[in-house]
């Protein structure tokens, strides 16, 4: 067992669930486990450790906002898992997009995740509701 695995294990048993979730998420993005079928990802996302699913996912993603590599890895894995578990993962997608909305630099990730995961009408509503459209200026 590597030092990172032991640290993630200690964090998982931590009395601070938010800290543990962030530590485990960073560990999984830094040293990903082979999971081509996405079985582990779906299970991990389903058990991020709070009584309120949106809160635990939002807190975890908010804790990763400064780690762009982890955010890209999270969105990539979520996009690849959605086709296998769309009904279960749509609330996760909504929570991740809401958490990413706190940082305008994640606009491309929000749009990519929405376009890959949500019905087109919902993607349209998201684009209309977000000020991201007004923050982009055409190149001259």
What digits encode the pLDDT tens for the residues 105-118?
A: 898 999 999 999 99
Is 13 inside any structural domain? yes
CA-nearest of 73, 81, 80, 110 to 94 is 110
Is 139 inside any structural domain? no
Is 80 inside any structural domain? yes
Q: Which domain holds residue 49?
A: 3-134
Is 140 inside any structural domain? no
> Per the structure, how many domains does the chain have?
1
Please compute, for residue 24, the number of CA atoms within 13 A of its CA located in the half-sphere on the CB side.
22
Give residue 76's pLDDT band: very low, low, confident or very high (50, 70, 90).
Answer: very high
Tell me which of 7 and 64 has the higher pLDDT.
Answer: 64
pTM of the model: 0.59
């Amino acid at each position: 067992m590597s030092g990172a695995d032991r640290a993630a294990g200690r964090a998982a048993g931590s009395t601070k669930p938010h800290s543990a979730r962030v530590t485990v998420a960073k560990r999984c993005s830094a040293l990903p486990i082979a999971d081509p079928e996405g079985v582990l990802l779906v299970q991990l996302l389903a058990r991020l450790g709070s009584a309120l699913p949106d809160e635990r996912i939002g807190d975890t993603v908010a804790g990763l906002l400064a780690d762009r590599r982890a955010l890209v890895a999270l969105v990539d894995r979520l996009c690849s898992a959605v086709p296998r578990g769309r009904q279960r993962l749509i609330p996760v997608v909504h929570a991740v997009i809401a958490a990413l909305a706190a940082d305008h630099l994640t606009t491309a990730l929000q749009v990519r995740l929405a376009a890959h995961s949500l019905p087109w009408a919902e993607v349209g509503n998201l684009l209309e509701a977000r000020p991201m459209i007004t923050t982009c200026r055409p190149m001259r």
